[in-house]
A and B are shown apart, each in its own frame.
Chain A
């Protein structure tokens, strides 16, 4: 029996390593090309290490402005999402009402609507109400599209905080908002972190929304501006494209690692999504 188990483990290890290798090849390309002076399209060991690719792209026009735009856009929308979701989750989690269930079902329905499909009408609507090519318009749309899932997650995390702790505060005369801010939210730190990081990561990587709703090149976030490497600059400098991809991707990967570690390895999202 132990021998059988050992051989089974070996088989599992070998298969997993094969899959991991296949998944790693494209990742290896971006990492190696970023430091390769003569980067092409295939994975290869660089003939010499260089930071020239990073030097070439670390200019205000190519890197700093788009990243700052991404930060303002996604940071603003994430902050708004988390605040609105926390406020909305509170009555849904704490007060009994006949409207809770229909509201939650509507929210849940909205979480899985394909947002891509409504981008053309959103564009037409934004042109009409003069929100096209504005930061606030894009922030509001990002927030609205992320809110259903954020409210759903937030409510589930909030349900995990026992009511008894709050009831004491209520008898001391604290208002609902006070007990939310002072008691409930501090107790659901990991949940709050998941909602914040998840919203931010989704927006940071989103291409279609800013691509449709923003027009001026100087307002573009990194997710859209990165396409300029193909479009306007003629010959594609693959090394620079790879270097930019590394810089643009690093923040979300770090954020993910941070949250995943805090929650003890397994990301709670798998469980949360299941309901």
Chain B
């Protein structure tokens, strides 16, 4: 009886495993393979193995290094600094605020998150354009206006990503803060610990696991942003907001170099896997 369960019992896993192998593991294996070839888009019959040539080329390619740098800026600004800090601040403020304000803010922030990526891109494009809302506000405040998408495109898309992604951090931190027993914060308050000291010595240490998880997930999400930047700037002007996903796309399709584009993709995948493993380690202590 037990033995029968063991074989028949695993059968329901079948459909999922087949799909995952064919359409997820398959492409990843194929990715590893063509990253070492000179495969091109233009009807070329066969490709040949070129070893590490694609990778050597990448590290000499200024455009690639530019994309790495911009990806770093984009990730640090929008994920580590923006979404994470703002999300924590919102979650902490919401614990003190009155109910209607809490509901309203939560609703608005979450709406930005639920909106389709492309729509979010349009909204922020309109916001940052020369004729857009941001400049209208600056005029009204008698501050100098900027052509944001031209002078500081990477800053504009980073803000866009903060706008779109903060809700996730907010939800994670709200759940984490709710788990801190009220007696602990109250005891600290009675002992005369001020707001900042309570935050530093009590709140942050108690939610450190959530912070780790949230940072990892934010970073992974930010590394793979494509549509938002594509809609707002197409990676431009020039290549001034061209992060790695956009660079990879341009190499593969505008320059027809699938092999080179995939090598870049593989590097991105490696960085992603690294974060993913760290994420697993953080979870493992809990699971």
Measuring CB to CB, which residues of chain A are less than 8 angstroms from any residue of chain B? 8-9, 12-13, 15-17, 19-20, 23-27, 29-30, 33, 40-43, 80, 83-85, 87-88, 90-92, 94-95, 97, 99, 103, 105, 108-110, 112-125, 140-141, 143-145, 147-148, 151, 176-177, 180, 201, 204-208, 211, 222-224, 226-227, 238, 241, 245, 248-249, 252-253, 256, 260, 266-267, 269-271, 273-275
Contacts and interface: CB of A to CB of B under 8 A. Distances in A.
A136 B283 CA distance: 35
The dominant DSSP class at the B interface is: helix
Contacts of A91: 9-13
Given A97-B6, A121-B27, A143-B19, A26 B126 contact: yes
Listed residue (B30, B105, B230, B286) with the most chain A CB atoms within 10 angstroms of its CB: B105
Contacts of B10: 91, 95, 97, 99
Interface in B51-109: 86, 90, 93-94, 96-98, 101-102, 104-105, 108-109
B112 A110 contact: no
A108 B122 contact: no
B284 to A, nearest CB: 8
29 contacts: A16-B90, A20-B105, A26-B127, A27-B108, A40-B131, A41-B126, A84-B19, A88-B16, A110-B24, A114-B269, A115-B224, A116-B226, A117-B31, A117-B268, A118-B269, A119-B249, A121-B27, A123-B258, A143-B23, A205-B119, A207-B116, A223-B118, A245-B119, A245-B123, A256-B110, A266-B174, A273-B213, A274-B286, A275-B213
A85 to B, nearest CB: 7
B150 interface: no
Contacts of B136: 42-43
B236 interface: no
Given A16-B94, A121-B262, A207-B118, A274 B172 contact: yes
Contacts of A177: 12
Nearest to A244: B119
B119 A113 contact: no
A171 B140 CA distance: 75
Contact of B261 (A84, A99, A120): A120
B114 A256 contact: yes
B147 interface: no
A84 B13 CA distance: 8
A224 B108 CA distance: 25
Contacts of B265: 117-121
Given A29-B126, A245-B119, 16 more contacts: A20-B104, A24-B108, A26-B163, A41-B131, A83-B15, A95-B5, A112-B216, A112-B276, A120-B31, A120-B261, A125-B26, A205-B119, A223-B117, A226-B119, A273-B217, A274-B210
